């Protein structure tokens, strides 16, 4: 209800804008969007530079302090996490000047944050792909840089493992060292600035995006680090209870209204985009990049995909014929046609349901008008009945007063007699 009222108020204000105000708003939005693009490009460039620097330092044989080596090894994860932590704050500040409706503000901010989080993973994978497939002196004889990355699958799995672990450490650190001290300061300090700062808001969309981000990393790293799903499961079980305790003790509800029913589909779309993003690099690495010649289960194959057709040829004849039939063009065309028919049926069914919903809304509106009309008629009838009853009472009262006037003179005459 708060969201609907706020949106209605903003729609009325937008309808009353003059042409100069609209031009000013559009110019301001264009400038802010250019600033957002500049922020995104800067973050992507920092991720690329950090990844290249980290890979080159790890290859060098120079030994340094343990802490320095640890920072260099986790430098891409640190830069990505910092970018994911800072950019939502910038986007939330910028969106307040663009003068959108509350629902669109939430969705637009989420779209920017989703693009930042998922694109940062893409930039990291692109940086690793450039380092793995690039050979300085001559053409790569093995299909990849076997001198620098003799077992590149393990290296990619390590990077995904670092992202998962560092993301968990950041969540715990923010809860313990940011939200909890903020709650203590706000509870025990009466300063005006502290009161204005207030407790940490629990933003449902941002927490959902953190889950989608972690799940995307898990999907990408599963092929290179098979234990990553188990690690991710343990991570999110712990994150659930940490967030629960933080929500009850440290946080307050969000001041901006949030409609969960309409955002559920948006979250599913974001999760689907994450799955698509995760499938593209994994598919390319399986089908195109040469498998490692030093380690891994695909040492004797040129690519990881070659194990699939060779494994099918070793199956029994009946099962092999069934799988080949599934991979044939006839089955693919038939499956595509059936899928299209099913999609058209679902679309037609959704359209029919939409029309039924519109009819029910019209019927409810008509019933509301009928009820209002009946209530008005009932009120008018009650007023008319009350008026007639009041007139009748007034008539009887007048008659009673007239009777008293006739009786009193007779009494006086009798006394005088």
**Cβ pair 207, 246 in contact under 8 A:** no
Per-residue pLDDT of the chain (417 residues; tens, 9 = 90+): 666 676 677 777 777 777 787 788 888 888 988 999 999 999 899 988 888 888 877 777 566 677 777 888 888 888 888 888 888 888 888 888 887 777 777 778 888 888 888 888 888 888 888 777 777 666 666 667 777 777 888 888 888 888 888 888 888 888 888 888 888 888 777 777 767 777 777 777 788 888 888 888 899 888 888 889 999 999 999 999 998 888 888 887 766 656 665 667 778 888 888 888 888 888 888 887 777 777 777 777 777 888 888 888 888 888 888 888 887 888 888 888 999 999 999 999 988 888 898 888 888 888 888 888 888 888 888 887 777 766 666 656 655 555 544 444 444 434 343
Predicted pLDDT at 414: 40
Cα–Cα distance for residue pair 121/217, rounded to 1 Å: 8
In 3-state terms, the chain is what percent helix, strand and coil (to 5)? 80, 0, 20
Q: 294: closest CA among 143, 158, 149?
A: 149
Predicted pLDDT at 404: 43
Q: 304: closest CA among 320, 316, 293?
A: 293
200, β-bridge pairs: 251
Cα–Cα distance for residue pair 116/41, rounded to 1 Å: 10
Cα–Cα distance for residue pair 309/301, rounded to 1 Å: 11
Q: SS3 for 252? A: strand
Q: 267: closest CA among 400, 58, 111, 44?
A: 111
* Residue 96 burial (CB count, 10 A): 11
Cα–Cα distance for residue pair 89/93, rounded to 1 Å: 6
Beta strands in 66-195 (DSSP E): none
**Cβ pair 95, 105 in contact under 8 A:** yes
pTM: 0.72
Per the listing, tokens 């706020």 go with 6
């Amino acid at each position: 209800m708060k969201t609907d009222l706020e949106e209605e108020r903003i729609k009325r204000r937008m309808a009353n804008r003059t042409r100069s105000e609209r031009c000013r708003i559009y110019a301001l939005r264009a400038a802010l969007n250019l600033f957002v693009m500049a922020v995104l490009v800067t973050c992507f460039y920092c991720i690329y530079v950090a990844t290249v620097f980290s890979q080159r330092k790890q290859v060098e044989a120079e030994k340094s302090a343990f802490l320095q080596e640890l920072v260099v090894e986790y430098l891409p994860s640190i830069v990505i996490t910092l970018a994911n932590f800072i950019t939502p704050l910038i986007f939330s500040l910028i969106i307040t000047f663009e003068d959108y409706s509350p629902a669109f503000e939430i969705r637009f901010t989420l779209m920017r944050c989703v693009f930042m989080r998922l694109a940062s993973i893409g930039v990291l994978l692109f940086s690793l792909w450039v380092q793995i497939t690039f050979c300085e002196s001559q053409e790569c004889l093995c299909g990849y840089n076997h001198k620098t990355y003799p077992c590149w699958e393990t290296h990619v799995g390590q990077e995904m493992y670092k992202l998962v672990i560092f993301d968990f450490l950041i969540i715990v650190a923010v809860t313990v060292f940011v939200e909890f001290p903020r709650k203590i300061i706000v509870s025990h300090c009466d300063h005006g600035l502290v009161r204005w700062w207030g407790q940490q808001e629990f933003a449902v969309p941002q927490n959902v995006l953190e889950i989608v981000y972690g799940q995307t990393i898990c999907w990408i790293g599963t092929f290179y680090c098979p234990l990553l799903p188990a690690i991710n499961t343990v991570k999110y079980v712990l994150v659930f209870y940490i967030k629960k305790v933080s929500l009850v003790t440290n946080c307050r509800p969000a001041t901006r209204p949030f409609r969960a029913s309409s955002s559920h589909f948006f979250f599913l779309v974001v999760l689907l985009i994450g799955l698509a993003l995760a499938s593209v690099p994994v598919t390319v690495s399986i089908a195109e990049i040469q498998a490692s010649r030093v380690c891994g289960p695909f040492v004797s194959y040129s690519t990881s995909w070659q194990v699939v057709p060779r494994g099918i040829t070793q199956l029994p004849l009946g099962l092999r014929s069934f799988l080949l039939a599934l991979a044939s063009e006839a089955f693919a065309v038939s499956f595509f046609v059936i899928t299209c028919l099913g999609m058209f049926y679902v679309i037609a069914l959704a359209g029919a349901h939409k029309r039924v919903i519109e009819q029910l809304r019209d019927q409810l509106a008509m019933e509301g008008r009928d009820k209002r009309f009946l209530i008005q008629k009932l009120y008018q009838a009650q007023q008319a009945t009350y008026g007639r009853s009041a007139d009748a009472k007034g008539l009887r009262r007048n008659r009673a007063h007239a009777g008293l006037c006739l009786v009193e003179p007779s009494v006086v005459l009798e006394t005088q007699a």
